Structure 1
Amino acid sequence: MATVSLGATPTRSTQLARRIRLLVAPTITYNVIEAIAVVMKEGREAWRGDNCCAAPTGGIAETTGQEQDGCGCAPGCACCAPATEEGDAR
């Protein structure tokens, strides 16, 4: 009677492990690079002050006598403006 092996041979197992590494390594690299790019973009926008809808810090900010919009920014801020015809989704 012939014996049937259910597992992969050592050579086949090595080939599969190599193929998995070749697929996983670029995927992880891409994800890390993408995360760094997002952090740099968001940091640059925060540094410039482009994102006026930052989460308010409760009780720390002084009142300047100026009314605030619903987002906590100054009246007429860009983030509360209606979307433009070009498709700006602000």
Structure 2
Amino acid sequence: MTDIAPASPRHQKNMYMRQNKVLKDKVESLELEVLHYKEQIDKLTLGDVPQIVKNWMNEYSLPWEIFWCFEHEKWIAELDNLFPYHMENCRCDKCES
């Protein structure tokens, strides 16, 4: 049986400080992510959701994010022929041009 010496108070303090830093960084990262999503929701609430998108959301029981082109910040106007199994050819108005 081996005896493990307890960590010194200084070692414990350093360990807690490192863990605290990691947690603070994680909280900061999550706060930025929440801010990003709030901005996206604000953009969506400023404009109306097209009726076709509402119909697709109901028909496929999928959230709005599926029908939003994050690259151009516009609603998807055309679904892939194999949607919902493939989405490579889903396009917004700017994707088509």
Place the TM-score, normalised by the shorter chain, in its bin: 0.5 to 0.7
Give CA-to-partner distance per residue, 1:5-53, whole Å, 9 cap, x none.
5421101000001111111101111101111111111221221224655
- The alpha-carbon deviation at position 86 of structure 1 amounts to 6.0
Structure 1 stretches of 5 or more lacking a match?
55-68, 73-77
Change (3 A) 1:45 1:10: same
Aligned counterparts of 2:80 and 2:14: Cα–Cα separation in 1: 53
- Structure 2: how far apart are the matches of 1:47 and 1:33? 21
Structure 2 residue ranges without an equivalent (≥5): 60-74, 82-86, 93-97
**Pairwise CA RMSD:** 3.5
**Correspondence list, 1:40-59, <5 A:** 40-50=39-49, 53=53
Percent of aligned positions that are identical? 7
SS at match of 1:7: coil
Letter in 2 for 1:30: S
Name the count of aligned residue pairs. 68
Higher helix share: 2
Taking structure 1 as the reference length, the TM-score comes to 0.53
Identify if the C-alpha distance between structure 1 residues 17 and 89 changes in structure 2 by more than 3 Å, giving closer, same or farther: farther
CA–CA separation in structure 2 for the residues paired with 1:34 and 1:40: 10
What is the one-letter code of the residue matched to 1:88?
C
Structure number with higher strand proportion: 2
- What's the TM-score once normalised by structure 2's chain length? 0.50
